[in-house]
Amino acid sequence: MERVRVAIVGASGYTGAELVRLLLQHPRADITALVAKERVTPKASTVLPSLAGVLDLPIERLDPESLAAKADVAFCALPHGASIEAVTALHARGLRVFDLSADFRLADPAVYAKWYGAEHAAQSLLPQAVYGLCEHNRDALAGATLVAVPGCYPTASTLPLLPLVRAGLVKIDETVVIHALSGVSGAGRTPAPSTHFSECSEGIRPYKVAGTHRHTPEIEQTLSRAAGREVRVTFTPTLVPMTRGILSTSYVTPSRDVTVESLVECAREFFRASPSVTVLDPGALPDTLWVRGSNRAHVAYALDAHANKIVCMATIDNLVKGASGQAIQCMNLSLGWDEGLGLRAPAMWP
């Protein structure tokens, strides 16, 4: 059986730790290197206690030449902006690279500069980067050597909308309204006042509202590609007091008469080849608990006849289908393997 040697760059963060957990269960992946900018240690369990007795590799500083000798595949789970240099160096040395930051998601460098406040330092690589929303871009991922793994909010927000947009069932000349709630792990492992337990455990707060969240252009890019024309969204993210999970709710106007049953049928056909997405029966509503710890996405629809709106809903685990699990799904597709390899475990319950 063909196997790959895998390096995880940014292994000490939440998405890096989740990559380790999932890859240890992958039948064709061997973790051969762990890398971090901080928390370098001779024993990974020092900073990732869940690995005690499971994986004893050191966490090292990035040395692209050394890493290229140890690995065939690299997952980069570094912060936005910090990932460009590592991705460029590793890709140039022949590694297949899956980047979990936003650095290669936006095709237009001017859009990147506007939303991330800096010129893109590797613009020549942008045309080579394949956007890794597997259910939308499956064919392009085959053989890809540089993959931009989607953000957690864009994944949860676009999955229920894509089937309807592709089928022409919504009025795309109207702004798409999206409200998404996320657990605090989406903010990363570095402590901050807004994600400190005592400041978030008893409250729910919106943040970066009115078109200021950096995932807005990524959502618009994905929907515009599906529609074949520009789509505008208004996106409101909200922090809720839980560790994992995203619930996205979107509101669109139907372009013709539809029923919930026809929407479900449309989405089930669209996701027919996906091992990860389940479209719930009419009347069923998604719950983040049902996907926690898994690479699952639950999609559901409702009709608001009074307001003439379709309500599109989805739940994912932001660290799995919203990050590390989807990155592994991308690796499977790029290598020509079963898309769901190592990712079919159900959610943790309860």
Q: Which domains does the chain have, with CATH numbers?
A: 4-150+321-334 (3.40.50.720), 154-318 (3.30.360.10)
Structure confidence at residue 1 (pLDDT): 57
Strands 146-148 and 205-206: unpaired
Q: What is the pLDDT of residues 19-72, one digit of tens each?
A: 999 999 999 999 999 999 888 899 999 999 999 999 989 999 999 999 999 999
- 147 touches 132 (CB < 8 A): yes
Check the CA dihedral 237-241-243-249 and report its sign. Answer: negative
Q: How far apart are CA 189 and CA 287, in angstroms?
A: 24
Residue 178 forms beta bridges with which residues?
235, 250
**Does 241 score more than 70 pLDDT?**
yes
| Cross-sheet strand order for the sheet of 205-206 | 205-206, 233-239, 176-182, 246-252, 309-316, 297-304, 277-279
Q: How many residues does the chain have?
A: 350
Residue-level pLDDT at 113: 94
Statement: residue 17 has pLDDT above 60: yes
Angstrom distances, CA of residue 169 to CA of 134, 208, 290: 22, 30, 28
Which 8-state DSSP code applies to residue 228?
Answer: T
Neighbours of 27 (CB within 10 A): 10
Nearest to 297 by CA among 167, 178, 136: 136
What mean pLDDT comes out for the span 263-284? 98
Q: Name residue, tokens 């509101």.
A: 251
Q: What is the pLDDT of residues 129-138, one digit of tens each?
A: 999 999 999 9
Torsion angle of the four alpha carbons 18, 19, 20, 21, in this order, in degrees rounded to the nearest 10? 50
Measured between alpha carbons, how far is 254 from 263 in angstroms, rounded to an integer? Answer: 10
Give the residue from 333, 341, 112, 115 showing the smallest Cα distance to 211. Answer: 115
For residue 77, name the pLDDT band (cuts at 50, 70, 90). very high
Average of per-residue pLDDT values in the chain = 94
pLDDT band at 114 (very low <50, low <70, confident <90, very high): very high
Residue 188: predicted pLDDT: 74
pTM: 0.95
pLDDT at 213: 87
Is residue 278 very low, low, confident or very high in pLDDT (cuts 50, 70, 90)? very high
Give pLDDT tens digits for 281-339: 999 999 999 999 999 999 999 999 999 999 999 999 999 999 999 999 999 999 999 99
Q: What is the distance between the alpha carbons of residues 231 and 229, in angstroms, rounded to a whole number? A: 6
Reported as a single tens digit per residue, the pLDDT across 183-224 is 988 877 776 777 777 677 788 888 888 888 889 999 999 999
* The pLDDT of residue 244: 94
pLDDT of 7 over the 70 cut: yes
Catalytic residues: 152
Compute the distance between CA of residue 211 and CA of residue 235 in angstroms, rounded to an integer: 6
